Amino acid sequence: MPTKSKLPTSEGKVLIELKNVDKWYGGFHALKDINLSVRKGEKIVLCGPSGSGKSTLIRCINHLEKIRGGTVTVDGRVMGETAKSVEGVRRDIGMVFQSFNLFPHLRIIDNCSLALRRVKKMPRDEAEKAARKYLDRVHILEQAEKYPAQLSGGQQQRVAIARALCMEPKAMLFDEPTSALDPEMVKEVLDTMIELARDGMTMICVTHEMGFARQVADRVLFMADGEILEEATPQEFFSNPKHERAQAFLGDILGHQ
Amino acid sequence: MLDFSVVVNRWQDLVYGVGSTLALSCAGIVLALCIGLLGAALQRSSRLIFLVPVRIFVEVIRNTPFLVQIFFLFFALPFIGVRMDPTMTAVIALAINGGAYSIEIIRGGVESIPRGQIEAGAALGLSQFQILGDIVMVPALRAIYPALTSQFILLTLTSSVCSSISANELTHYAQRIESETFRSFEVYFTITGLYLVISWLMMTTLSMLGRRLFSYPNQ
Ligand SMILES: Nc1ncnc2c1ncn2[C@@H]1O[C@H](COP(=O)(O)OP(=O)(O)OP(=O)(O)O)[C@@H](O)[C@H]1O
Ligand SMILES: [Mg+2]
């Protein structure tokens, strides 16, 4: 497949903006003065060594972590100002976790329709119809009546993607969506993500799948010790990383792949 | 000589006693479960105004005898104008006592739920309350269902203490029959058997209910 060579463009409005974000866990400075803006339709890949703050960063966007300084703005709404802003932003942003986090006691269809019924107050039949649409989109409609434990890891992760898509989010956050999967299941999940990217979804993905990054990312951000050290197109980043931490990091992961 | 005919002659009273004990216990269990769920939910709050009263309630109830609790409700509360009939008092005493233990048990269940489940709910835009009700409750209850079941059987057996305020229940009927017939052995032998039957009924019902409610497959 051809690699993408799109440079970050100035068109499109800014959907997600982090300004001078500081995050502390007790006395530990986990994010240091982070600035990032993501335009509508942009695909960002976030990588970096373990403990560098990647998860923390994306979790600040939908307020799963409270920040100490700076602001997070999503589609014009400043996050955390009011409880309403938190709920509003969470409705606008889907999230996919490393460990799937499907609800074990609900059938797949109910996993997907729950938030539609509870948050968007949709009647059950309408919510299920929407859920089926997105299950179909991740090619897993035939599993709708099963429970999460009856699905493989890759299938569960695709359900998790469908569950987030049901809310018709403006952007999707992925936190290492393939790293808990057996190798043979990674591809099906990445393929789903690639389809999503093709459809124009705004995405921020924490992942070490460099093939995926090359193929879909507009920008790759490299983090270490709570800072964004490098920001580049995938080609630049992979062929010519500037920061020595990035060089060491790439050496490590490419060495293993 | 043993003479069970006095017991047999009063079979209607005994059936009524068993029915009363079952009704009393079921009412107590349902209310205790409500108290347990509410208390466990409040305990997740970070606000002291919710936390402290729940803690005090649990500690007071778990560290005082049930008999004293029921006497307090029945004999002490009328002095501040709260008057209830014995059976009503018994239901409330059982609910409060069972509720305090349930809070602790259910809290354990809630704490066993992986944080990721709660975060997934939050990320979908569900409120704290919806997360507890739709996401946490069923798996949490499943995790502690055996403990909760034995607590509720215990509650059922404890209901016999309510005879001390003449509440409508099996032991109270037994005492009446005994005082009229002086056949202590026959009467208490019989109700011992009946309590065994009641326990068994409760256990069977609760485990059937559990199988129905928590039938989803394990991860
Ligand atoms: N709840 C927490 N309390 C205290 N420290 C935390 C907490 N969560 C994360 N940290 C610390 O913050 C730092 C950043 O963590 P984070 O999970 O964001 O890293 P990461 O880049 O996602 O790493 P990984 O690749 O291992 O997932 C780590 O040093 C971690 O130990
Ligand atoms: Mg992480």
| Residue B14 pLDDT exceeds 50 | yes
| Residue A254 pLDDT exceeds 90 | no
Map residue A151 onto helix, strand or coil: coil
Identify the burial level of A35 via C-beta atoms within 10 angstroms of its C-beta, where 0-12 means exposed, 13-18 middle and 19 or more buried: exposed
Note the pLDDT of residue A85.
79
**Choice between B218 and B63, residue whose per-residue pLDDT is larger:** B63
Taking only the tens place, the pLDDT of each residue in B144-170 is: 999 999 999 999 999 999 999 999 999
B124 vs A90, A104, A147: nearest CB:
A90
- C-alpha A12/C-alpha A218 separation (Å) is 13
φ/ψ of A123, rounded to 5, equals -65, 155
| Residue B90 pLDDT exceeds 80 | yes
Phi/psi-derived region of residue B110, left when phi > 0, alpha when psi is between -120 and 50, beta in every other case: alpha
**Residue B126 touches partner A, C-beta closer than 8 Å:** yes
| Residue B171 pLDDT exceeds 70 | yes
Note the pLDDT of residue A257.
53
**Choice between A87 and A36, residue whose per-residue pLDDT is larger:** A36
Amino acid at A97: F
Note the pLDDT of residue A1.
41
Residues present in chain B in total = 219
**Residue B131 touches partner A, C-beta closer than 8 Å:** no
| Residue A44 pLDDT exceeds 90 | yes
pTM of the model: 0.89
Q: What ipTM, to 2 d.p.?
A: 0.90
Note the pLDDT of residue A252.
86
Strand order in the sheet with A14-25: A28-39, A14-25, A69-74, A77-78
- C-alpha A17/C-alpha A75 separation (Å) is 8
Burial B55-66 (b: 16+ CB within 10 A, else e): eebbeebeeeeb
Q: In the structure encoding, which two tokens stand for residue A158, read together?
A: 């695709």
Note the pLDDT of residue A5.
44
Average pLDDT of the segment spanning B179-189: 93
CA distance B50 to chain A (A): 20
How many percent of chain B have pLDDT more than 70? Answer: 100
Please state, rounded to an integer, the average pLDDT across all residues of chain A: 91
Contact A55, B116 (CB under 8 A): no
What DSSP assignment string belongs to B119-159? HHHHHTT--HHHIIIIIIHHHHHHHHHHHHHHHHHHHHHHG
Average pLDDT of the segment spanning B4-33: 94
| Residue A11 pLDDT exceeds 90 | no
The closest alpha carbon to B102, from B30, B45, B201, B50, belongs to B30
| Residue A86 pLDDT exceeds 90 | no
> Given an 8 Å threshold on Cβ–Cβ distance, is A93 in contact with B123?
yes
Lowest-pLDDT range, A10-14, B102-106, B140-144? Answer: A10-14
The closest alpha carbon to B152, from B24, B40, B64, belongs to B24
| Residue A104 pLDDT exceeds 50 | yes
Q: Which atom of ligand 1 is nearest the CA belonging to A176?
A: 27
Q: In the structure encoding, which two tokens stand for residue B86, read together?
A: 């014995």
Sequence-ordered alpha helix ranges (H) in chain A: 54-61, 83-92, 108-118, 124-137, 153-166, 183-198, 210-216, 234-239, 244-256
Ligand 1 pocket, A54 CB below 6 A?
yes
- C-alpha A189/C-alpha A157 separation (Å) is 7
Q: Answer positive or negative: Cα dihedral of B209, B129, A145, B123.
A: negative
For chain B, domains (ranges, CATH) are: 5-214 (1.10.3720.10)
> Given an 8 Å threshold on Cβ–Cβ distance, is A101 in contact with B120?
yes
The closest alpha carbon to A202, from A12, A2, A1, belongs to A12
Map residue A246 onto helix, strand or coil: helix
Note the pLDDT of residue A4.
44
Which residues 216-255 of A are in CB contact (within 8 Å) with B?
Answer: none
Alpha carbon distances (Å) from A194 to A56, A229, A231, B26, B109:
24, 26, 21, 55, 39
- C-alpha A254/C-alpha A198 separation (Å) is 26
Strand partners, A72: A18
Average pLDDT of the segment spanning B95-107: 97
CA distance A97 to chain B (A): 8
Taking only the tens place, the pLDDT of each residue in A176-226 is: 999 999 999 999 999 999 999 999 999 999 999 999 999 999 999 999 999
Q: Choosing among A103, A151, A168, which should be mutated to test the B contact, i.e. which has the most B CBs within 10 A? A: A103
**Choice between B2 and A221, residue whose per-residue pLDDT is larger:** A221
CA-nearest residue to A165 within chain B is B124
Residue A3 — very low, low, confident or very high, per pLDDT cuts 50/70/90?
very low
